[in-house]
Amino acid sequence: MLAFLNPVTLRLMMGLTFFPLGLFSIVSGLIILVAGPYKQEAKVLAQQTARIGQKGLTDDITLVTQSATALVDAINNLIKTSSGNAIVLVVVGALCECAAYWLLLVKP
């Protein structure tokens, strides 16, 4: 058993683990960036909020406009957060790919 865990096989196992992990992370991040799981819902909520805000301005209802503004800010933060998470996934995946390349192809 201990003969199996020499430095060469350990580098090989680590490299073969990092490569699919990095690939999965990059693909997941790109899917989140492109598809945007919350973007469709955010657009609908933003449209409804704009309608509420217009009605609040014409009817002099300040509470409605304040709540609509808060809702728009929350939606924007939600979109920024999901995009930020996707970018982190892509960066972590790229680092895993670099580590796998170094472990598998660069000689010690």
In which band, very low, low, confident or very high, does the pLDDT at 61 lie, cut at 50, 70 and 90? low
DSSP three-state, residue 28: helix
Residues 10-53 pLDDT 10s? 899 999 999 999 999 999 999 988 887 666 666 666 666 666 66
Q: Which of 104, 83, 94 lies closest to 22 in space, CA to CA?
A: 94
In eight-state DSSP terms, residue 106 is S
Residues 68-100 pLDDT 10s? 677 777 767 767 777 788 888 999 999 999 999
Range of the domain at 13: 8-103
pLDDT of 18: 95
The answer as to whether 2 is a domain residue is: no
The answer as to whether 89 is a domain residue is: yes
The answer as to whether 86 is a domain residue is: yes
Q: How many domains does the chain have?
A: 1
Give the integer Cα–Cα distance in Å for 90 and 67. 35
The answer as to whether 44 is a domain residue is: yes
Q: Which residues contact 80 (CB under 8 A, 6 or more apart)?
A: none
The single residue listed with the structure tokens 């609040």 is 56
The answer as to whether 91 is a domain residue is: yes
pLDDT of 85: 85
The single residue listed with the structure tokens 């192809």 is 105
pLDDT of 99: 92
Amino acid found at 42: A
pLDDT of 101: 93
pLDDT of 105: 92
- Alpha-carbon torsion 10, 104, 98, 88, what sign? negative
Could you count the other beta carbons within 10 Å of the beta carbon of residue 96? 20
The answer as to whether 108 is a domain residue is: no
pLDDT of 90: 92
Give the integer Cα–Cα distance in Å for 100 and 108. 14
pTM for the whole thing? 0.67
